[in-house]
Structure formats: structure tokens, C-alpha cells
Amino acid sequence: MKDRLIIFLEYLGIGQNKFAQNVGLSAGYVNNLGENISSRSLNKILNVYPQLNEKWLLTGKGEMIKPINTQKAKGNNSINSNINNIEGNVTISHNDFSNLLELQKGYQDVQKELNERLKTSQKQIDTLLEILKNK
């Protein structure tokens, strides 16, 4: 199972320590993960990463990422239209606000990583083009 978890982390572009921090597990626990996992730890992982297919993680069967539920997508459109019609103050809990800030930081981290990968790819392309020009 640890091998599948590592594949998922590579898909996300994060390391084991960041993953452990995100889900609230110790880095040692994640590092020593074998084929068995407690239901409590599994629930922590699936709560933070709901796109992860539990069956795939546990057994290797099926797809790593759950298919997008079109029903949920349709539901989100109505939520978005309701949000656009809100006037006045909106109150959210401290936990929800903290979660939003954490999500924003996560997106910024992903964006930074993608930018670094793009720079690396562009350097490789430039090098290859230079090699082709010199032939």
C-alpha cells in the first residue's frame, strides 16, 4: 500500500512529510506504512484527499482517482448561482476560514511547483533546440 501512496503523492507533487502534515499523521507513521492501515488513519487521508479512491489505495484495484460525479458538478452550479445572489455580510466559522486559508496556501504551493517545473522544462527545450541548431 505504501507504494500506491507514493504514486498518489507523486501525482499530487508533494512529499511524504507534507502529506503527513496535511492529514495530521506523523511523518514516521507514513514512512513506516505497510499493507495495513487503521481505519482512523484511512479516514484522515480520505477526508483531506476525497478524490483518492479508497479501493485502489487498499487493494490496487480500480483507478487511483475517483471519477468526477456529474451530479455534484450540477449541484455546484446552483450553489454558485446562490452565492452570486447574496447581499450583505456573510459569516463563516473560524475553522472554515482556517480551512480556506490552508487551501489557498496549498494552491499557491502547487502553483509554485508547477512554475518551477515549467521553467525546468523550458530550459530543457532550449538546450535541445541549441543542440539541434549546432548539428
pTM of this prediction? 0.48
Nearest to 12 by CA among 54, 61, 59, 52: 52
What are 49's three cell numbers?
A: 484527499
**Could you tell me the fold of the domain covering 2-59?**
434 Repressor (Amino-terminal Domain) (1.10.260)
State pLDDT tens for residues 1-57. 788 888 888 888 888 888 889 889 888 888 777 777 888 888 888 998 888 899 998
Helices (H), ranges, 49-93:
54-59, 70-84
Cβ neighbours of residue 105 closer than 8 Å, sequence gap 6 or more: none
